[in-house]
Every structure is written in C-alpha cells, then in structure tokens.
Structure 1
C-alpha cells in the first residue's frame, strides 16, 4: 500500500492508471479464451479462466490498496469520491471479464457457423471500446499538466465520444447476435440457451462499462 500511496504525490491519476493496467491484463485474455471455446478446446478454456481469475484478484487488491492510500483530507487536483468511482468502474470491467470466463467453463457449446462472425465481431467491438477508454486513462497526466484545458482536453472529449460510438456499434451487433441465437433456439436445451444469453450479456458489459467510465472521467474533469 505504501508504494501505491506514494504515487498520489506525483499525480492523483497514476494509481488509477496502475489499476487500469491490471484490468487490461484481464481483458487481454478475452480473445484467446473465446477462440479456445469456439474450437471446443475446454482444457485451454479452463486454464485461461484460472489466469483471468488470478488477474482479477490482483486488480481487486490493487483497488483496495488505492482506496486505503487515498486518505480523506488529502489534497488532490480532483474530487476523491470521483476518483474512487472511476476506479470502481474500472474494477467492474475486470469483474465482468472474470464472469464471462467463468461462464465459458460451465459447458462446451456448439456455435452455429452462421453465428460465429457476429459473435467474434461483438467481442472485438467490446474490446475496441475498452481499449479506447484505456487510452483516455493513459492521457490523464497530460490533462493534469495542462490544467484540464486546451487542446488536450478537447481531444479527450472527442475520445469519450468515440467510446460512445463504439458502444452503440456493439449494441447493434448484439441485436443481430440475439436474433441469430433465437433462430437456433430449438437446437439447445433451456439451460444451454440461457447460458448463451448470459455470455452475450457479460461480454456486452465491457463496452457498457467502458462508455460509463469514459463519461465519468469527462464529468470529473469538467467538475474539477
């Protein structure tokens, strides 16, 4: 915790960026675990799910260290409560990633060939939204140096809008994905069909939370 606490002397955003890097390590496993699942390699799915669970735990511990290090009464360039909200949103992305990975381990499911392109596109669009939000977090030190104004702030505002666009695009893909899985409803048991829906929901939360995170950062900077 001392190491995390010292970071606040440099910038209130450094600990938040440190935590986001831990979250990104979780999210980076979404592609390989999805590919393993679609190919029916459940041993690899189990292995990657365990890796994601460990990484999520590290992110969670980092969050707690930051919360403990962010003492009340400490002078910060931005509101303490808002920083904690941002870190909580970041942590939520790691949680959803772990949930998605855990669901993949429950049962091997055959994905209809016609559904695979949309499923992969949906996954990739969610990750694109996360990566865009991650880039915003990386830029926060530049904003601090520019007193949250100027061209840097305007560029971040544009980046926030870009995350919203990506989240909307993910929603559109999800609609087609849901239509596709309902067209194959009779091929699955009730439990298997429900599992597909839960998988879609969990991975979809990555883009949803990324958009919320980006908007929360923007509002935090505007209400400094």
Structure 2
C-alpha cells in the first residue's frame, strides 16, 4: 500500500502520467548525447566523463521508474488503453535510454574521438536523433488528450500529424547516417582498426535510438487502430 501511495504521490491520478514521466527522463538522457559528442570532438576527456555520468544517472532514474511502474501498474485499468499496450510502450521507451548509456560507455571506455573528417557529421546525426526523440516525447504527451476524447476527433488528427513528422525526422537520420558512414570509410585506413569497429557500432546505436523513437510512435498507431 505504501508503494502504491508513493507512486500516486509522484505521478498523480492519471494512469498515463507515469508513461509520460518516464519518456521525459528518457528524452533528457538521449539529449545529453549532444554534449557528449561535442566534448568528444574537442578532445575534452574530462567533459566526456562528466556527461557520461549525467547520462548514467538519468538512465538509472528511468530504469528505476520503469521497474516501479511494472510492479505497481494495476492489472485492470478502467480506460480505453490496454494494460499491455502501456507496458509495451514503456519497454520501447526504455530502449532509448539504454542505448544512450551504452554509447556513452563506449566513448568513455575506449576514449574514442571521431576523426575530424567525420566528427561534424557525427554531431549532426546525434542532433537529428535527439530531434526524433523530442518528437516521440510530444506524441507521448498527447496521450492524456487521446484518453479524454476516447481516441476520436481532433486529438487523433493532431497525433496522426505528429506521427507523420516523426517518420520524416527518422528518415532524415537515415540520410545523415549514410553520409557519416561514407565520411568514416574515406579515412578508416588511417585509424586504429579496433576503434573503427567501435565507431561503426556507435553509429548503428545512434541510428537505433531514432528507430526506437519511431517505434514509440508506432505503438500509438496501434492504440489508435483499436
């Protein structure tokens, strides 16, 4: 009972507020990647370590919140959203923060620095990915309105428009990712081979964040179709 009261004290009476609160933490976590890559491009190892700690803290907070929600989310919610849909959305959201921490961990652990030829493009990819995550947060924040209107009317059209924009933003990250891979390929012969492997892994993980942000939107499309 105490745990449930604690949960209510944090999130209030809305059953969707916890999902929104979690996504806000996830968005903050992913956004820190911009600072991480800017510090990395300058060779600021102390700054990279500091941002890594910030990302790790936010990821842990999101993870704690995820576990709290899973443990105390009622089995029968009197609302037009299936409990499993909420849990599935929570799981996808959690992947974004996990990827951000993994990326930061590799950068710190390997003391990586993208070559100058590719560094600016890498920052561009991160910024585009963060925009995609911001858009996913906007979609999640519309869930209250969708619930209040019974998933009908103007609220649905607003979310559908947001989902179209989310798809466009994710497509833009695909374009930048190709350009970054090309830029890295042009100079990889001059780099330490193992570092190159991890650079490509980081690129894949950043793109994965954008993909997962789009998947957050897809979960809402599923809800809208029910």
Query: TM-score, with normalisation over the residues of structure 2?
Result: 0.92
- 1:35 corresponds to 2:11: no
Instruction: Give the CA deviation at 1:5.
Output: 4.9
Distance 1:156 1:69 in 2: 28
Q: Where do 1:69-218 residues align within 5 Å?
A: 69-218=72-221
CA distance in 1, matches of 2:12, 2:57: 29
Q: Conserved in 2, the CA contact under 8 Å of 1:93 and 1:209? A: yes
- Is the 8 Å Cα contact of residues 133 and 210 (structure 2) preserved in structure 1? yes
Spell out, residue by residue over 1:52-103, the C-alpha distance to the aligned partner (whole angstroms, 9 max, x if none): 1121111011001111111323433210111000001111100011011101
**Aligned pair count?**
223
Q: Is the 8 A contact 1:170 1:204 kept in 2?
A: yes
Alignment map for 1:13-52 (pairs within 5 Å): 13-52=16-55
Mean Cα deviation higher: 23-32 or 85-94:
23-32
Aligned CA RMSD, in angstroms, stands at: 1.7
The 8 Å contact of residues 40 and 113 in structure 2, kept in 1 or not, is answered as: no
Contact 2:96 2:213 in 1 (8 A): yes
Unaligned runs of 5+ in 1: none
Q: Secondary structure at the match of 2:115?
A: coil
Q: Deviations over 1:160-190 (max 9, x none)?
A: 1111111111111111111111111111122
Q: Give the drift of 1:18.
A: 1.2
Shift of 1:104: 0.9
Instruction: Give TM-score, length-normalised by structure 1.
Output: 0.93
Structure 2: state its 5+ residue gaps: none
Matches within 5 A, 1:61-72: 61-72=64-75
Specify the SS of the correspondent of 2:116.
coil
Q: 1:120 to 1:153 in 2, by over 3 A?
A: same
Which structure shows the bigger proportion of residues in helix conformation?
2
Alpha-carbon contact 2:80-2:150 (below 8 Å) kept: no
